[in-house]
């Protein structure tokens, strides 16, 4: 068997790296020179793509568009602009329009004060409209015509960073921008087709590189709109996470935190605070071996911590208080759901032993709510005479999604391969998520469901002090699931309210151990042996923990033998009934 009871240090990220770095650097972690810092130091893919977009020597066939999968946030746009500016030369002065009574002429600008002179080599806008992006022609009544510059004019000769979501909502604006950038010429057009321009306005030469920033959905929408556009543009992604394999990479990430704090003019971060930030970071990514590079998440955590500073530093207590306050702000819905269990409106048993019943672990997501909520769910299984069908009540009532249905079919395939190799199963089973009144999806309850079925078949009770999460394949191997921290903490909260027995705990897939970053309260409970976290690799491991009886064991009684013995008894009874019925039918024919 591959059963492991995790210790307190195994349910949280390894913080020894932070201690090693502190000791190595005499309680201070080095930081690169502020002058040499920019966002691209932590984004090698993006830096390489930008080198292709803006080579030292521009040529006519260089790409003019780059698609960047990244968050459309003002902070990210600003940091990206600063990084790009540091590697670009100053743009040419651009152009200027000269107005006479009946004619408009275009000349080279002599200073930045000229009306259409380039203002910067890199500008950004997360949201644009036609006037903001392309400028406009104004002719007040009884007044001379006026031209207003847009972003394309102020960034002429450089790079313009734009939010893709805003452009996609204005297809005509996007089409105009694309054609102008490709033709390298800006043409003035009237905003109202029924009223042409009163004067002929010379077109302006346009030398512009465009970076379109968007999430996966926006990029997919652009791909559907213009599939050929991808073949002529550079595509890259902002790396949201930094893989951690050595103390040097953690030091690299800590420098990133200090870089964000410095750019936002936040107070310095105390060295002792990095361990707490590190743990919260791994919880955010959901993996002990990855740290977040999300500028908005890091900035939010540090800004919130400044409200709890006792001195001029962001220390560990300030980070802890900021995390607790944020959780308290967001936990009203979670507390209301848990109160349904505490008041016995939703029945969860954490102390008895019951045949065919098990505590599964699930997460709930609500639209507009920023977190997932871990909630234990009671699954039950009943056995009756039938033809081997596994009746999924959720699917029968159209309350199950496709992935859930797939998990149920895998469970049925496992049962059939184990017990119906030479004959038809003489019974059917019904499985249901008790007190579930909305659609469910996912296969993370398939391990729990399969254990409930085997308990019902063998008539051996399941210890309700344990809860289970995990998916299974057709061979019974346990596979990873999501939301493991929230699931464990949800069951722990219920157990704590009903009274910790010291025998309560959760069973999770062994492959999910790397995703654990549990709360300090849970760590304390595990250290005091009031609660346990077990990892398993096969359903046989989970069944042994749940029932105390091996699934297959040649040296003694096991669940497999109990099920086969019961099946033989049912088949024998069925055969006797068939024999009696056939004799009666023959007698009647006489």
Q: What is the pLDDT of residues 289-312, one digit of tens each?
A: 999 999 999 999 999 999 999 889
Helix and strand tally (H, E) in the chain? 20, 26
> SS3 letters for 347-414?
CCCCCCEEECEEEEEEEEECCCCCCEEEEEEEEEEEEEECCCCEEEHHHHCCCECHHHHHHHHHHHHH
Is the pLDDT score of 31 beyond 50?
A: no
Contacting residues for 500 by C-beta, under 8 A, at least 6 apart: 525, 530, 531
Q: What's the CA gap between 222 and 238, in Å, rounded?
A: 18
Query: What is the CATH code for 340-556?
Result: 3.30.230.10
R_g of the chain, CA atoms, integer Å? 33
Q: What is the pTM of this model?
A: 0.88
Q: Is 444 a catalytic residue?
A: yes
The DSSP output letter for 88 is: S
- Please state, for a pLDDT cut of 90, what percent of the chain lies above it: 67
Is the pLDDT score of 395 beyond 90?
A: no
- Quote the pLDDT of residue 578: 57
Question: Looking up tokens 């996912």, which residue turns up?
Answer: 442
- Model confidence at 28, pLDDT cuts 50, 70, 90, reads very low
Of 62, 73, 71, 67, residue with least CA distance to 46: 67
Is the pLDDT score of 156 beyond 90?
A: yes
- In this structure, of 240-244, 262-266, 412-416, 530-534, the range with the lowest mean pLDDT score is 412-416
As its CATH architecture, domain 16-30+243-330 has Orthogonal Bundle (1.10)
- Model confidence at 436, pLDDT cuts 50, 70, 90, reads confident
Residues 561-581 have pLDDT tens digits of 999 888 887 767 666 555 544
- Quote the pLDDT of residue 32: 44
Q: For the chain, which residues make up each domain, given as ranges? A: 16-30+243-330, 44-237, 340-556
- Quote the pLDDT of residue 94: 87
- Quote the pLDDT of residue 315: 94
- Quote the pLDDT of residue 589: 58
Among the listed residues 487, 517, 519, 532, the single catalytic one is: 487
Q: Which fold has domain 44-237?
A: Rossmann fold (3.40.50)
Among the listed residues 96, 218, 380, 444, the single catalytic one is: 444
Q: What's the CA gap between 322 and 306, in Å, rounded?
A: 8
- Model confidence at 362, pLDDT cuts 50, 70, 90, reads very high
Catalogue the E-assigned strands of 77-218: 94-99, 104-108, 116-117, 122-125, 136-138, 146-148, 159-163, 185-186, 204-205, 209-214
CB-count exposure of residue 484 (10 Å: 0-12, 13-18, 19+):
buried
Task: Give the DSSP H/E element, type plus range, for residue 462.
Answer: strand 461-463
**Average pLDDT across the chain, whole number:** 89
Residues 218-236 have pLDDT tens digits of 999 999 999 889 888 999 9
Q: What's the CA gap between 439 and 366, in Å, rounded?
A: 12
Of 510, 508, 440, 445, residue with least CA distance to 471: 445
Alpha helix (H) residue ranges in 190-315: 216-225, 247-263, 274-285, 295-306
- State both tokens at 228: 């050929």
Using DSSP bridges, classify how beta strands 234-237 and 65-69 pair: parallel, antiparallel or unpaired. Answer: parallel
Query: 589 vs 345, which has greater pLDDT?
Result: 345
- In this structure, of 23-27, 175-179, 182-186, 429-433, the range with the lowest mean pLDDT score is 23-27
Query: 66 vs 111, which has greater pLDDT?
Result: 66
Across 520-532, average pLDDT: 95
- Quote the pLDDT of residue 439: 83
Across 333-340, average pLDDT: 93
Task: Give the DSSP H/E element, type plus range, for residue 329.
Answer: helix 316-330
Is the pLDDT score of 498 beyond 70?
A: yes
- State both tokens at 561: 């033998």
């Amino acid at each position: 068997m591959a059963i492991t009871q995790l210790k307190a240090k195994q349910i949280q990220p390894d913080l020894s790296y932070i201690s090693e770095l502190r000791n190595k650097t005499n309680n201070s972690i080095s930081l690169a020179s502020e002058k040499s810092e920019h966002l691209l130091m932590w984004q090698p893919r993006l830096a390489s793509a930008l080198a292709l977009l803006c080579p030292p020597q521009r040529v006519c066939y260089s790409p003019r568009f780059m698609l960047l999968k990244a968050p459309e946030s003002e902070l990210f746009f600003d940091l990206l602009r600063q990084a790009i500016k540091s590697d670009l030369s100053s743009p040419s002065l651009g152009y200027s329009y000269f107005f006479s009574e009946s004619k408009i002429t275009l000349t080279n600008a002599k200073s930045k004060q000229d009306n259409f002179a380039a203002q910067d080599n890199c500008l950004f806008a997360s949201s644009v409209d036609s006037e903001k992006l392309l400028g406009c022609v104004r002719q007040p009544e009884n007044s001379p015509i006026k031209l207003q510059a847009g972003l394309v004019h102020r960034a002429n000769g450089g790079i313009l960073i734009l939010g893709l979501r805003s452009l996609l909502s204005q297809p005509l604006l996007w089409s105009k921008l694309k054609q102008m950038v490709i033709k390298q010429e800006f043409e003035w057009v009237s905003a109202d087709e029924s009223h042409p321009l009163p004067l002929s306005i010379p077109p302006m030469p346009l030398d512009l590189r465009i970076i379109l920033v968007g999430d996966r959905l926006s990029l997919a929408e652009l791909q559907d709109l213009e599939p050929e556009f991808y073949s002529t543009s550079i595509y890259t992604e902002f790396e949201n996470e930094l893989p951690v394999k050595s103390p040097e990479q953690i030091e690299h990430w800590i420098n990133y935190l200090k870089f964000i704090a410095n750019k936002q003019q936040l107070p310095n971060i105390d060295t002792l605070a990095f361990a707490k930030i590190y743990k919260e970071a791994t919880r955010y990514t959901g993996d002990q071996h990855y740290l977040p590079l999300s500028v908005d998440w890091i900035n939010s955590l540090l800004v919130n911590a400044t409200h709890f500073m006792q001195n001029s530093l962001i220390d560990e207590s300030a980070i802890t208080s900021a995390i607790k306050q944020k959780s308290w702000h967001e936990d009203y819905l979670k507390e209301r759901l848990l109160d349904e269990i505490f008041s016995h409106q939703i029945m969860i048993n954490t102390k008895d032993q019951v045949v065919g019943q098990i505590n599964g672990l699930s997460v709930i997501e609500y639209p507009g709510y920023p977190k997932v909520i871990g909630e234990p769910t009671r699954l039950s299984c009943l056995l009756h005479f039938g033809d081997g069908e596994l009746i999924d009540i959720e699917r029968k009532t159209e309350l199950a999604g496709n992935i859930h249905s797939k998990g149920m079919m895998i469970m049925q395939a496992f049962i059939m391969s184990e017990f119906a190799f030479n004959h038809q199963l003489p019974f059917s089973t019904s499985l249901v998520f008790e007190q579930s009144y909305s659609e469910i999806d996912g296969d993370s309850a398939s391990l729990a469901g399969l254990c409930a079925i085997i308990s019902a078949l063998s008539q051996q009770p399941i210890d309700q002090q344990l809860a289970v999460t995990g998916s299974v394949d057709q061979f019974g191997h346990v596979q990873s699931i999501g939301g493991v921290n929230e699931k464990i903490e949800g069951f722990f909260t219920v157990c704590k309210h009903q009274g910790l027995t010291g025998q309560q705990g959760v069973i999770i897939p062994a492959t999910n151990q790397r995703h654990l970053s549990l709360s300090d309260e849970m760590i304390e409970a595990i250290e005091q042996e009031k609660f346990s976290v077990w990892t398993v690799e096969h359903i046989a491991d989970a069944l042994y923990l749940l029932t105390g009886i091996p699934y297959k064991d040649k040296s003694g009684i096991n669940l497999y033998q109990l099920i086969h013995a019961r099946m033989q008894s049912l088949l024998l009874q069925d055969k006797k009934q068939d024999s009696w019925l056939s004799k009666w039918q023959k007698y009647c024919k006489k």
